[in-house]
């Protein structure tokens, strides 16, 4: 598991913002690689006997990134059966409310909590997000007007599990382990697979084995080195995902960028990132190739959104 | 479009709580009707060339039910590129933050906002939700411990559009129009379809044609009469949906219950309800039968959750 | 109640940002006019037999300005006695929680809800707030770093009721009535008072007579014309207040500024504004001059903060 | 600083709910001890030359009790000058918004954050809060309908600093130190004071010396033993306060009650509790007796509310 010294990345990431080859109005980025024929093929080959739910659920006290002041997940009841008898907020009156038990609730969350997708506007460089949308013209009081989560279409395509933890024969990669291009190629090779245009690779570190133990799940994540991230985007992937909080290795290996992988995927190449995926069952069952179905909640302008990706193994 | 006087429902709904035939621990209710063979068949027949996205997006000012004090949808930025230069909440320092543009946001919403599913605990009767889970033992400070949205599995099954607006030749049914059993049977007959066990019928009133005009979309909805709701659950449907905010007609036709349809579907028969579906494209394209794929965000214990249902027409 | 045509304000407000005479670091603005000797005198003369509470309480459904998307006031229980028995969030266990009834709650509010004070950073002009603090250097992701509510010291000084509604012999001034310099001088004259440096005048329109009827309380408020606002700041007042939502008349009489009074008070002259004051009792009792005690909650960086001002009549 | 073994409290607190001597509708409890003559006397003797602000300010990341899932303090901008140019949420248009810099913000907080007062409904026993208001009849969906923070009048009375840290000659009492009756009497004796009916004693542990270092400020607080709490309420105090998060010692010394001091003060004797007071300046200046002015924000039904208490030394 040692790293060859001459593969050490340079100390500067040197990310620049990407201009979309799909035109000046494009907000989809690499999602343009999604193709109807792949979707048709995947659904035709999907083994629907087992659905793999790759999401985690949301609950008060769940681990989440709070290091920069963002709130933890919260849910509150806005209506309770007993409370409704007292406050009659629905105006139905005592007799009806004694019979009917009304419950309602509200949620409050950072959009990067739980299993979610990062939208393209989550990270930019030098004043612009992907496809040169500038802060000044496109950042409203409440959210961006470009590159938000509502732009992301339903993703039905080929998913590929790149099981780096399994390649190394460990339950979980060590803290801050930078996944290399060799690791990716090794894991793909072990599975007998290669990446195609429009694929969505899910890189497994093993971290979600410990969920929801925040002490073991968050902080100093093993994840993609910038070289590995660049190799992936060279394959024309439509999106990328991982079973940790930021897909890339942390802390950053590059002095000019605290999250160079985010800047590369989102800002430079227009690749949305899916985080905190539960890949444990896919790994245990050896499902390295699958039909992926994933569609985030359409939060207009948001830098991220909850999603519940589903995978199905492929029939031969 | 007149209603025969002798089909007028009695003035009392008389709903009682349902005991699950699937055992005392069951929290799935009618979702137990979902079957693997139907799922396999639907995916095999799905025409993946067109994806129908049945959801709406979330934005500040969007219409939502606020009549009982619940908040409207809110999103706020927790990190902005320019603000990060000032506050350095991420600790990356001035040089890095001048290069890297970090944006983050939080959302705050009633769980019954936008396209969403009602979980079984949203409504109960006489102190219990579906399958006799009592308020006293199962309602926590923050949410129910039973019958919440996280219990709902991914729903991949046969969806059926019951296009009552089209049957009546109108853009939208009139306010407070109570959809009858005849309406349902008429619309199904016009489409040459019948309901099977495990289906999810989507009843179209036409209301979402006006979205997001809240004045025309919310309040006094045309929707299912209680008789019509009962006829649907007799068909062993797995869930039900509509293009308005409460599936059922409003205001209630029954003096003992302000939302008898909710009580019948959720509490009496364990049928989750999908609301504020955009059915306009399905209707325009005449897609009356489809492969439905829908999975709510897994908000533990919540009485509802956002979801983004996708439909695909079926090949012959 | 007619307005002389030649006192009609020009159509441009022409506000410019003010530079503090108290130095480049000053964030207090006109609050510097507060003086110890006045405070000592006021407390010495205060008639403590009656406390006038000039605030309103906060409740779900209370009127508030939501025209620009801001949320209405919300409160939620985070702990209930019965819920704690179910969820044991405090870890105290069943026996203890059966005995001890724990309740807790959270609030969520726009900082300009209910009786509150506007901090100097609420409005600026041409990229700067009062005393030339620029947006670029001082606006963080979460709040301003200058001119926030936490800068406001406890205000104990002479308060003066300028009862314009009473001057005109009306319960409430008509919608959008622009209060003139003559009105202010007339009301002061009727009370036999004049303004001194460091005073806080409270201008009464009568609007809070209708609280909490939002339809009559909010929108198109009678309030200060820009000329009247300028006359007040010429008197070296320390702060200003009114019994409506924005102190000034609405809508704006000036084409270049939608809230010229805010820009004049906050940005040009550094005068904090107290809004939605309940002045009904002061007016009814004819208390035109009083010892004012008011201290906002110290929300760091916030553009406004709730406060609960108290008034006491002065002994002869 | 040793504790005599035979003063060790029994292991059961044995708190019962108090019935108000001021009648069945009373929601003020010990606040009824506030008297006009004391108020008049205090204001007459107040030395207004120096105002002691006993509050802390609110900021993202401030320490707060989150052990039972409650959220930390949050503030978000709802309007920014630059964002308003992009989104025009106020409808004023580009030219006006380029000139006028509009900022607004929202806050979200647990009501027991920062310097605040606990209302009587925060803790009850055996299904009832102070004066026998039962959970079933008085706990709404959103808040209690009795005993809330809006019931608390402005408190202007004699405040007394009981400086236990100074008595012991320490910067701060050790973790979990239970303050005894002897400590209270010793500190009062050292100051040459005794408690009178209607007083509000502030018990100083020294903890706020470390604010806002959460690691030193929160958890295992030194504070009042139950015996000491009982001795205080025997003096007919109107409210009680301290410079830590719960006034009483933690963890509890009593097996039947996790917060017996809360239950005694709030539920048994109707005494509101003021927490997280900054008493450092009063202590440094030796101001042991003072005119206290304190009025919480009137959050209807809330179990607590922010407040900003002000103290003034008394003239001879």
- Separation CA A176–CA A174 (nearest Å): 6
Query: Is there a single domain that holds both residue A164 and residue A88?
Result: no
Q: CB contact, 8 Å: C78 with chain D?
A: yes
User: Which pTM does this prediction carry?
Assistant: 0.96
Q: What is the pLDDT of residues A228-241, one digit of tens each?
A: 999 999 999 999 99
Query: Is there a single domain that holds both residue C126 and residue C260?
Result: yes
Question: In chain D, what residues touch A78 (CB-CB under 8 Å)?
Answer: 141-142
> Which DSSP letter does residue A286 get?
T
Domain range spanning residue B190?
A: 29-58+111-313
Query: Is there a single domain that holds both residue C300 and residue C220?
Result: yes
Query: Is there a single domain that holds both residue D100 and residue D136?
Result: no
For the question of an ipTM over 0.85, the answer is: yes
CA distance B46 to chain A (A): 8
Q: CB contact, 8 Å: C59 with chain D?
A: yes
Region D239-256 average pLDDT? 97
Tokens encoding C39:
């405070």
Interface test with D, best of C83, C94, C107, C128 (most D CBs within 10 A): C107
Query: Is there a single domain that holds both residue C212 and residue C88?
Result: no
> Count of alpha carbons within 13 Å of C33, Cβ hemisphere only?
23
- Separation CA C105–CA C258 (nearest Å): 37
The pLDDT assigned to D11 comes to 84
- Separation CA C261–CA C230 (nearest Å): 9
Query: Is there a single domain that holds both residue C185 and residue C229?
Result: yes
Q: In chain C, whose CA is at the least distance from the CA of D254?
A: C96
User: Pick from C60, C79, C87: which is nearest to B69 by CB?
Assistant: C60
Give the CATH number of the domain where residue A154 resides.
3.50.30.50
Question: In chain B, what residues touch C108 (CB-CB under 8 Å)?
Answer: 71, 108
Question: In chain D, what residues touch A69 (CB-CB under 8 Å)?
Answer: 60-61
Question: In chain A, what residues touch B112 (CB-CB under 8 Å)?
Answer: 104
CB contact under 8 Å between A87 and D140, yes or no, is yes
Q: How many domains does chain B have?
A: 2
The pLDDT assigned to D10 comes to 57
- Indicate left, alpha or beta for A165 from its phi (over 0: left) and psi (-120 to 50: alpha): alpha
Q: Is A24 exposed, middle or buried (0-12, 13-18, 19+ CB in 10 A)?
A: exposed
Query: Is there a single domain that holds both residue B104 and residue B226?
Result: no
Query: Is there a single domain that holds both residue D93 and residue D154?
Result: no
Percentages of chain D per state (helix, strand, coil), in multiples of 5:
30, 25, 50
CB contact under 8 Å between B53 and A154, yes or no, is yes
| Closest residue by Cα to residue B16 from B230, B206, B175 | B230
Region A183-189 average pLDDT? 98
| Closest residue by Cα to residue B294 from B169, B130, B120, B117 | B117
Query: Is there a single domain that holds both residue B79 and residue B214?
Result: no
Please report all neighbours of C, defined by 3+ CB atom pairs within 8 A. Answer: A, B, D
Q: In chain A, whose CA is at the least distance from the CA of B90?
A: A68
Q: Tokens 């009114």, residue?
A: C242
- Indicate left, alpha or beta for A132 from its phi (over 0: left) and psi (-120 to 50: alpha): left
CA distance C139 to chain B (A): 6
Q: Which residues of A, range 256-285, sit inside 8 Å of B by Cβ?
A: 256-259, 263, 267
Q: CB contact, 8 Å: C106 with chain A?
A: yes
Q: What is the pLDDT of residues D17-69, one digit of tens each?
A: 999 999 999 999 999 999 999 999 999 999 999 999 999 999 999 999 999 99
| Closest residue by Cα to residue A246 from A260, A230, A231 | A260
CA distance B254 to chain A (A): 10
The pLDDT assigned to A132 comes to 98
Report yes or no on C252 lying in a domain. yes
What is the residue-level pLDDT of chain C in tens, covering all 316 positions?
A: 344 444 444 589 999 999 999 999 999 999 999 999 999 999 999 999 999 999 999 999 999 999 999 999 999 999 999 999 999 999 999 999 999 999 999 999 999 999 999 999 999 999 999 999 999 999 999 999 999 999 999 999 999 999 999 999 999 999 999 999 999 999 999 999 999 999 999 999 999 999 999 999 999 999 999 999 999 999 999 999 999 999 999 999 999 999 999 999 999 999 999 999 999 999 999 999 999 999 999 999 999 999 999 999 999 7
Contact C257, D99 (CB under 8 A): yes
Question: In chain B, what residues touch A105 (CB-CB under 8 Å)?
Answer: 110-111, 142-143, 299, 301-304
CA distance A127 to chain C (A): 13
Q: CB contact, 8 Å: B123 with chain A?
A: yes
Q: In chain C, whose CA is at the least distance from the CA of A75?
A: C78
Tokens encoding B114:
């936008």
Report yes or no on B2 lying in a domain. no
Report yes or no on B136 lying in a domain. yes
Report yes or no on B174 lying in a domain. yes
User: Pick from D74, D78, D140: which is nearest to A71 by CB?
Assistant: D74
Helix (H) or strand (E) segment spanning residue C240: strand C240-242
Distance separating the N- and C-terminal Cα atoms of chain B? 33
Contact D43, C315 (CB under 8 A): no
The pLDDT assigned to A6 comes to 46
CA distance D102 to chain C (A): 5
Whether A7 has a pLDDT exceeding 50, the answer reads: no
Whether A124 has a pLDDT exceeding 70, the answer reads: yes
CA distance D295 to chain C (A): 7
Query: Is there a single domain that holds both residue C101 and residue C125?
Result: no
- Separation CA A177–CA A1 (nearest Å): 9
CA distance C115 to chain D (A): 9
Query: Is there a single domain that holds both residue B227 and residue B88?
Result: no
The pLDDT assigned to C11 comes to 83
CB contact under 8 Å between D142 and A83, yes or no, is yes
Tokens encoding D196:
């009178």
**The last residue of a domain, from among A66, A87, A108:** A108
CA distance C169 to chain D (A): 32
Give percent of chain A above pLDDT 70. Answer: 97
Query: Is there a single domain that holds both residue C125 and residue C141?
Result: yes
Q: CB contact, 8 Å: C60 with chain B?
A: yes
The pLDDT assigned to C176 comes to 98
CB contact under 8 Å between B99 and A257, yes or no, is yes
| Neighbour tally for A277: CB within 10 Å | 27
User: Pick from A69, A76, A142: which is nearest to C106 by CB?
Assistant: A76
Region B19-42 average pLDDT? 98
Cα four-point dihedral sign B166, B167, B170, B174:
negative
CA distance A186 to chain B (A): 32
Question: In chain C, what residues touch D267 (CB-CB under 8 Å)?
Answer: 101
Q: In chain C, whose CA is at the least distance from the CA of B76?
A: C142
CB contact under 8 Å between D78 and B76, yes or no, is yes
Report yes or no on B173 lying in a domain. yes
The pLDDT assigned to A284 comes to 98
CA distance D113 to chain B (A): 19
Q: What is the pLDDT of residues D117-132, one digit of tens each?
A: 999 999 999 999 999 9
Report yes or no on C159 lying in a domain. yes
> Which DSSP letter does residue C13 get?
-
Radius of gyration of chain B (CA): 21
B&D contacts, CB < 8 Å: 17
Question: In chain C, what residues touch B136 (CB-CB under 8 Å)?
Answer: 82
Interface test with C, best of B67, B74, B84, B86 (most C CBs within 10 A): B86
Q: Is D214 exposed, middle or buried (0-12, 13-18, 19+ CB in 10 A)?
A: middle
The pLDDT assigned to B10 comes to 57
Please report all neighbours of B, defined by 3+ CB atom pairs within 8 A. Answer: A, C, D
Q: Is B277 exposed, middle or buried (0-12, 13-18, 19+ CB in 10 A)?
A: buried
* Paired sense of beta strands A200-204 and A240-242, if any: parallel
Report yes or no on B68 lying in a domain. no
Q: In chain D, whose CA is at the least distance from the CA of C52?
A: D154
Q: Across the strands, what pairs with A125?
A: A128, B100
Whether A5 has a pLDDT exceeding 60, the answer reads: no
B&C contacts, CB < 8 Å: 63
Phi, psi of C47 (to 5 degrees): -90, 100
Q: CB contact, 8 Å: D140 with chain B?
A: no
Question: In chain A, what residues touch B129 (CB-CB under 8 Å)?
Answer: 101
Whether B7 has a pLDDT exceeding 80, the answer reads: no
Q: CB contact, 8 Å: D69 with chain B?
A: yes
- Separation CA B87–CA B110 (nearest Å): 31
Q: What is the pLDDT of residues B182-197, one digit of tens each?
A: 999 999 999 999 999 9
Report yes or no on D7 lying in a domain. no
Contact B48, B208 (CB under 8 A): no
Q: Is B132 exposed, middle or buried (0-12, 13-18, 19+ CB in 10 A)?
A: middle
């Amino acid at each position: 598991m040692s790293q060859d010294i001459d593969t050490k990345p340079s100390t500067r990431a040197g990310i620049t913002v990407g201009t979309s080859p799909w035109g000046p109005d494009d907000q989809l980025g690499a999602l343009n690689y999604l193709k109807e024929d792949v979707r048709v093929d995947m659904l035709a080959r999907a083994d629907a006997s087992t659905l793999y739910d790759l999401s985690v659920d949301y609950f008060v006290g769940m681990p989440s990134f709070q290091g920069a002041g963002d709130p933890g997940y919260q849910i509150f009841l806005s209506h309770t059966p007993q409370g409704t008898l007292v406050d009659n907020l629905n105006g139905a009156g005592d007799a009806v409310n004694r019979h009917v038990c009304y419950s309602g609730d509200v949620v409050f969350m950072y959009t990067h909590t739980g299993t979610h997708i990062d939208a393209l506007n989550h990270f930019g460089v030098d004043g612009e997000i992907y496809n040169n949308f500038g802060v000044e013209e496109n950042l409203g009081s409440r959210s961006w007007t470009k590159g938000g989560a509502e732009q992301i279409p339903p993703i039905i395509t080929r998913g590929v599990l790149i099981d780096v933890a399994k390649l190394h024969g460990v339950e979980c990669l060590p803290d801050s382990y930078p996944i290399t291009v060799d690791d990716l190629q090794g894991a793909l090779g072990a599975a007998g697979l290669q990446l195609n245009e429009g694929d969505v690779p899910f890189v497994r570190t093993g971290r979600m084995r410990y969920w929801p133990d925040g002490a073991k799940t968050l902080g100093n994540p093993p994840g993609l080195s910038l070289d590995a991230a660049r190799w992936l985007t060279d394959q024309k992937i439509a999106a990328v995902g991982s079973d940790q909080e930021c897909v890339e290795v942390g802390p950053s290996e590059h002095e000019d960028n605290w999250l160079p992988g985010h800047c590369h995927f989102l800002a430079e190449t227009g690749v949305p990132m899916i985080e905190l995926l539960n890949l444990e069952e896919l790994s245990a069952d050896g499902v390295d190739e699958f039909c992926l179905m994933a569609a985030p909640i359409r939060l207009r302008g948001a830098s991220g959104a909850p999603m519940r990706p589903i995978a199905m193994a492929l029939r031969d």
